[in-house]
Structure 1
């Protein structure tokens, strides 16, 4: 098998695994069973994943569990710590608290009681953004919408910010190669950039074609984007404004909204995307999957 074909297969296996982890984070993810499904040995499964994603698969699962839990502890104030641990795949509250403290240097209770704010501001200060303290974001009151399932073709890489522009340029080349003119541009935050250092963020750039086109031979993987209830925030501004809006949505709007967040990642649908077209601004709608309580 040619090296290019092998790399494509390995990339698809790794991305399918990442999608599985995100979609089944509340379950006991069994690597032996998944390796069997892909018809490869457990050893090669681990090797392929680390080669493609640059991280150990068990550490990746742990990181995703804790990150999703860190969001839910802020937004789902009527859920107990035990319930949130279970929603993120922890059957033992003791092991959850130990792992959480190792990652965030505070207990889940300390995080929930306000520790998240200082931690998030520290992450954002690293990328030269500013704290939201004292700013009025009432104008960002969202619409509650029901979204439909979308099939998205995507590129996933680690690194958010300056690397994002390179990913969108790759996606532009793919659009030109496949003569796709009518499409939606979507940025998906599988890692929340307000609580994860941007060099460690997995960021997904995705395209949803708006017309039927044969992409059976494309070299990009695809997945289904969430269908369901979302809070939809319209915005226009610079790159840092997107991050500030994400922080405000999770830290201010959601805890007081009467809704709760889910473990499904949030995403942005762009009308203007400076990463792609150098327009100088970003304009679009930011979607946060929610549930009625």
Structure 2
């Protein structure tokens, strides 16, 4: 695929994903979306699946469920019908059916303690970390999508770091976005995005770009091993978030790496973890 075509396809896929995140609590109309993007619905579906290795309907379902698993625990006063409506389901029955198919339990059972069966809750480690609430303005990032497994992760960052060296871009913020709730879904099977944000304003078409929207985040600074990081993320979602008074949004969580040892030293992670929140 030529670079111009690849860049155009990446923009289409990113526009579709942005639309899904923005209107996830509504009955998303893909016909209207394809018209607004000035492309056929067939082409839109094909390009999206090429980019994300998952079709649009699967993505919508996944994002709605991620929002639901958070709301069921953090918004304790909401009824199941209200959670279903906020997450874009046509009815409570439809919500229960989809939830049970994915997690082998009803939303009510999950809310009443069933969530502990989805994770290694018996091994849950307590972290004495304080969250800093920060607002991040809109940012442009150059990226490569990858799977969450170590091999895919390393290949993506080797390409990006080689590009930074060849171009002489010295001031780069290295980030990794998680498109699944990695507290529940296996990280190795998750869809991720390796990306860099540059201090300088450049015109470079080597990689596709995406725009990270302005949002409010809870920021945690983490130091430890890869295994400890997985325990840390579970703590954030199933301890800190539940007791924080905040709700997680559908925007992807992400990390900012404070060192570059993550490629050569699995035992040492030094990063800031951001989870998007709202009241």
Give TM-score, length-normalised by structure 2: 0.89
The farther-off stretch of 217-226 and 55-64 is: 217-226
Which residue of the other structure, out of 126, 139, 151, is the alignment partner of 1:150? 139
Query: 1:105/1:201 Cα in 2 relative to 1: closer, same or farther (>3 Å)?
Result: same
Query: 1:282/1:174 Cα in 2 relative to 1: closer, same or farther (>3 Å)?
Result: same
- Secondary structure of the corresponding residue to residue 180 of structure 1: coil
- Can you list the C-alpha shifts for 1:186-234, whole angstroms capped at 9, x where unaligned? 1212211121133431111121112x23125343222124422x22211
User: Is residue 198 of structure 1 aligned with residue 187 of structure 2?
Assistant: yes
Q: Partner of 1:15 in structure 2?
A: 14
What is the CA-CA distance between 1:97 and the residue it aligns to?
A: 0.9
- Can you list the C-alpha shifts for 1:36-90, whole angstroms capped at 9, x where unaligned? 2232211222222223322222122112211221122223323332232223221
What is the CA-CA distance between 1:23 and the residue it aligns to?
A: 3.0
Which residue of the other structure, out of 139, 152, 160, is the alignment partner of 1:163? 152
Structural mapping, 1:1-293, within 5 Å: 3-121=2-120, 132-133=123-124, 135-137=125-127, 139-210=128-199, 212-215=200-203, 217-228=205-216, 230-276=217-263, 278=265, 280-292=267-279
What is the CA-CA distance between 1:270 and the residue it aligns to?
A: 1.4
Any gaps of 5 or more consecutive residues in structure 1? 122-129
What CA distance in whole angstroms lies between the structure 2 residues aligned with 1:19 and 1:38? 12
Aligned pair count reads 279
What is the CA-CA distance between 1:276 and the residue it aligns to?
A: 4.1
Kindly report the root-mean-square deviation, in angstroms, between the aligned alpha carbons of the 2 structures. Answer: 2.3
Give TM-score, length-normalised by structure 1: 0.85
Any gaps of 5 or more consecutive residues in structure 2? none
What CA distance in whole angstroms lies between the structure 2 residues aligned with 1:56 and 1:112? 29
The farther-off stretch of 107-116 and 9-18 is: 9-18
